[in-house]
Structure 1
Amino acid sequence: MKRKRIDSLLKWKENNMNKPLLLMGGRGTGKTYLANDFAKSFYAKSIYINLERVPECHKLLEGEDVSIWIQNLLMISETYPYASKHPEDEKEPILFIMDEVSFYPPFMEKLEALIKANPPFQIMCITSFHSERYKKDDFFYILQLFPLNFEEFLIATGNEWYGETIRIHYASNKKLPDIVHRELLALFEDYLQTGGMPAAVNEFISMEGKYNISEQHRILASAYLWDAKSRNNEGDGLKISQVYSIMDKQLIKENRKFQYTLIRKGATHAMYGNAVQYITDTFYGIRCNKLAEEALESACKSEISSNILPQYKLYMADVGMLYSSLKQIECKHPDHIRKGLIENYVAQTLYGNGYPLIYWESNSQAKIDFILYKDNSIVPIEVKTGNITRSKNLSVLKSKCSYIKGAIKISTRNFEYSGDIKYVPVYAVFCI
């Protein structure tokens, strides 16, 4: 299954030989598969160890003598299925993959010796946890792997040419032919229900339909919760499970702001804040913070993240898992379910494109689903479930902020640009 992150891995291989790579991402997003596929495709020799499943691997890196490390690792590489026996490959770098580095190993700084060894090593660490420590010391070249976005889904399902077509029309704002537009909306419905977790996408492809997708999502969710409980004490594990179990219900309310009282009566941030943090740190939840109304003007003069409020929305990392979860819920307002799904899809796609997620409200007069900060201006994004896109929200926002040069409306409407508003079909969000 082709992942666009392979291009970033190749860039690291070619330009960052002396810096270890850290591949972060939620469990089930395909980190291990991607790393080993990369090793098989671009290295003559590689070594893979899993520090969590095979704790004995820690012994390979014990002690001060780096030469012993190298000797131990080379012994493994000789039996590794991708190892090359050609003499000309002996000077080529060896890719050393350490999986599930869910902490900061005491030997991490010593890895520089492996990079300078003969033959040299290139080091890739894989983790399912987010840590500011990894970013602050600038030791790693950091990449994050997300569930497949819609473009990758098109590639995986043999519809690659649609992706390039979408990008061309996104840039030109010219409408697609109606028949192509309808085909893409149908394909998007498949994606909405399948999501981007590789196991679910593979099931969709192999079964040529969505027959067993919900079961794949259930397995992924159960594995995640089991892992969360095994890594935390009983009380914290229970709280994480409780937060996870109501994430879907939070997203089908008319006001999708996260409310602790939906967990249980009397629940507060003090009780459950750490559980929410764990879910975001393990990449299964995406937090979207509220921008202070009075900070609209100043947000363009400083970093937008310094003007956020404690209120937030909590999206799921994969819209397909949300869809399967919502199938079990009775709701009197199907339009709320649809809105929650589409908004979650937009959130995960924008987050995957590297945007911090921010939303805005004006004393209940107007709501903007997402606020992007680009080129010293604010770009508001409204999400609609159909092709009717009229609303007063943007006019209210523009009256309060002079830094808005344009806006984006996401809906089932075809591409168009009118009145400083860029109309983007829901299937083209990956272009933003």
Structure 2
Amino acid sequence: MLRRKIEQSLARWKDLPDRKPLLIKGCRQCGKTFSVLDFAHKHYEHVIYLNFFQNPDYNSVFSGSLETDNLIMMISALLGPDAVFKPGKTIIVLDEIQECPEARTALKFFKLDGRFDVIGTGSLLGVRGYGKDPRSIPVGYETIIDMYPLDFEEFLWANGITEAMISLLRRCLAEEKPVPEALHNRFRQLLLQYTVVGGMPAVVQAFIDTHQLGNVLQLQRDIIRSYEDDMIKYADKKDKAKIAECFRSIPKQLSKENKKFQYSVVKKGATSSQYAGNLQWIEDAGIISRCYNLSIPELPLEGNALQDIFKVYMKDAGLLIGMLEDGTQFEVLQGNLHGYKGAIFENLVADFFAKMGRPLYYYHKDSGLEIDFVMRWKGNCTLVEVKATTGNTKSAKTILSHPEKYHVKQAVKLGDYNVGRNGNMLILPLYMGFLLDEY
């Protein structure tokens, strides 16, 4: 069984004395149902499980009164003696809650009643064109947590890397000392594997079980096809083709030197007014992350973000590989991807940051200055340069040499290095990107 960080979030939620119903949001197939049910069976005597996607008839439970006693009666009639309701001992799991909007409205009534814990999961919550909205969103009566595919640390756990090894990495980062060579090489290898495998649970499990990358690629492409099926099935009729076109353009968008998302790359002559909502659909489904250009690289980053100039990355690094042609896996593992390699490793770092909950920003000026990512790290504005192997950081050096203009005092260079420092630039191996989680 894959160890997931969501387990800690669920445990913290259960420890809250006045906890609200919990809503777990995330893209399809990121492991929401498995993690929630595993937690529920470990921590409660009785688990009531309703999956609205598999059993649309369950919607009828919520078609009348949403008072808790009425819902208990209806669920008991539906599930029979297996439905045991004991205050404080029973948890109700409402899976794929977006399929039954009234069930989400009912979270308010479960909270007001207070006898039973409730967890809902949703894949396409808030996606335009999907189903109908709840009668009332229970604002103030639910706690929402975003869940993602496995991040790199969870992938390391799955591959037998211990907490002690990760603690050693953190010490090397804190003390700015090189990682021991044997461990350094092992993490470099695991990083390349994560780049091609990514973090979708079924894909990671297949890799752990077989180490056959052909199986990995087939599963990735199955997931990509399921996403495309969702676009065709659930989007508004007028948007279906445009959403698919936006999605399929992502590898091409990343091939450009600037990587700014351009609607003309989606389709010749396309404009923002025609396609902006379609790109938003993909983002709302949890498939992509948007990285905004900054007018100037200084805090607050959100305040300096240019909302109409952005890059787009796949939320999961492995799914980007799945969108590319056969042989790409091998080329990544061999380091032979030439120019496109930079796009793949930028997406890898975007994967690191997005899965730790960081909003993504970059800096690009027509003068030629370009910084791959800009983040708040240890309370300071920090430039992040990503190098697939090695390379210069001319833009970062230019900005750092003019603190009176840019107010930036530190930068991080991620690449095929061990830990080191060059003035106010910290040099780190790419695999340490997942440790840059201190806001």
TM-score (norm 2): 0.87
Rate the CA distance shift 1:139–1:366 in 2: closer, same or farther, 3 A: same
Which residue is equivalent to 2:118?
Answer: 123
Which residue is equivalent to 2:314?
Answer: 316
Shift of 1:390: 2.8
Which residue is equivalent to 1:269?
Answer: 272
Q: Please state whether the residue corresponding to 1:92 is helix, strand or coil.
A: coil
Shift of 1:375: 6.1
Rate the CA distance shift 1:150–1:110 in 2: closer, same or farther, 3 A: closer
| Alpha-carbon distance in 2 for matches of 1:93, 1:129 | 30
Shift of 1:407: 1.2
Q: Please state whether the residue corresponding to 2:194 is helix, strand or coil.
A: helix
Deviations 1:278-337 (A, max 9, x none): 0000011111111114xx4xx52x562453241111101111111122234999x93322
Find out whether 1:284 has 2:287 as its counterpart: yes
Which residue is equivalent to 2:419?
Answer: 415
Which residue is equivalent to 2:346?
Answer: 343
Q: Please state whether the residue corresponding to 1:158 is helix, strand or coil.
A: coil
Rate the CA distance shift 1:43–1:17 in 2: closer, same or farther, 3 A: farther
Which residue is equivalent to 2:46?
Answer: 45
Shift of 1:164: 3.0
Letter in 2 for 1:177: P
Q: Please state whether the residue corresponding to 1:251 is helix, strand or coil.
A: helix
Deviations 1:103-149 (A, max 9, x none): 7834645434334548x211111111354999993432121111111
Q: Taking every aligned residue pair, what percent have the same amino acid on both sides?
A: 28
Q: Residue 61 of structure 1 contacts residue 69 of structure 1 at CA under 8 Å; is this kept in 2?
A: yes
Q: 1:114 aligns with which of 110, 116, 119?
A: 110
| Alpha-carbon distance in 2 for matches of 1:253, 1:307 | 21
Which residue is equivalent to 2:72?
Answer: 70
Q: How does 1:37-186 map to 2 (within 5 A)?
A: 37-64=38-65, 65-74=67-76, 90-102=86-98, 105-106=101-102, 108-115=104-111, 117=113, 120-129=115-124, 131=126, 137-161=139-163, 162-186=165-189
Indicate the RMSD between aligned Cα atoms, in angstroms. Answer: 2.7
Shift of 1:377: 3.2
Moved more, 391-400 or 348-357: 391-400
Q: Residue 381 of structure 1 contacts residue 409 of structure 1 at CA under 8 Å; is this kept in 2?
A: yes
Shift of 1:77: 6.9
Q: Residue 414 of structure 1 contacts residue 423 of structure 1 at CA under 8 Å; is this kept in 2?
A: yes
Shift of 1:366: 1.5
| Alpha-carbon distance in 1 for matches of 2:69, 2:121 | 24
Q: Residue 293 of structure 2 contacts residue 362 of structure 2 at CA under 8 Å; is this kept in 1?
A: yes
Q: Residue 46 of structure 1 contacts residue 77 of structure 1 at CA under 8 Å; is this kept in 2?
A: no
Rate the CA distance shift 1:7–1:58 in 2: closer, same or farther, 3 A: same
Moved more, 255-264 or 415-424: 415-424
Deviations 1:12-60 (A, max 9, x none): 1111643111111111111111111111221111111122332211111
Q: 2:231 aligns with which of 228, 231, 245?
A: 228
Rate the CA distance shift 1:329–1:248 in 2: closer, same or farther, 3 A: farther
| Alpha-carbon distance in 1 for matches of 2:324, 2:230 | 23
Deviations 1:262-288 (A, max 9, x none): 222111111111110000000111111
Shift of 1:347: 0.6
Which residue is equivalent to 2:25?
Answer: 24
Which residue is equivalent to 2:130?
Answer: none
Rate the CA distance shift 1:135–1:195 in 2: closer, same or farther, 3 A: farther
Q: Please state whether the residue corresponding to 2:229 is helix, strand or coil.
A: helix
Which residue is equivalent to 1:327?
Answer: 325
Q: How does 1:195-214 map to 2 (within 5 A)?
A: 195-214=198-217
| Alpha-carbon distance in 1 for matches of 2:341, 2:271 | 28
Which residue is equivalent to 2:392?
Answer: 390
Q: Please state whether the residue corresponding to 1:39 is helix, strand or coil.
A: helix
Q: Residue 29 of structure 1 contacts residue 197 of structure 1 at CA under 8 Å; is this kept in 2?
A: yes
| Alpha-carbon distance in 1 for matches of 2:88, 2:138 | 31
Q: Please state whether the residue corresponding to 1:179 is helix, strand or coil.
A: helix
Q: Residue 361 of structure 1 contacts residue 367 of structure 1 at CA under 8 Å; is this kept in 2?
A: yes
Moved more, 254-263 or 393-402: 393-402
Which residue is equivalent to 2:410?
Answer: 406
| Alpha-carbon distance in 2 for matches of 1:416, 1:391 | 15
Q: Please state whether the residue corresponding to 2:214 is helix, strand or coil.
A: coil
Structure 2 residue runs of 5 or longer lacking an equivalent are 128-132
Find out whether 1:257 has 2:255 as its counterpart: no
Q: Residue 410 of structure 1 contacts residue 424 of structure 1 at CA under 8 Å; is this kept in 2?
A: yes
Shift of 1:200: 0.7
Letter in 2 for 1:127: G
Moved more, 305-314 or 217-226: 305-314
Which residue is equivalent to 1:426?
Answer: 430
| Alpha-carbon distance in 1 for matches of 2:25, 2:355 | 12
Q: Residue 240 of structure 1 contacts residue 275 of structure 1 at CA under 8 Å; is this kept in 2?
A: yes
TM-score (norm 1): 0.89
Q: Please state whether the residue corresponding to 1:234 is helix, strand or coil.
A: coil
| Alpha-carbon distance in 2 for matches of 1:420, 1:139 | 46
Shift of 1:348: 1.6
Moved more, 320-329 or 206-215: 320-329
Letter in 2 for 1:128: S
Rate the CA distance shift 1:327–1:94 in 2: closer, same or farther, 3 A: same
Letter in 2 for 1:191: Y
Deviations 1:77-101 (A, max 9, x none): 7655xx88xxxx9443421111222
| Alpha-carbon distance in 1 for matches of 2:86, 2:56 | 29
Structure 1 residue runs of 5 or longer lacking an equivalent are none
Letter in 2 for 1:37: D
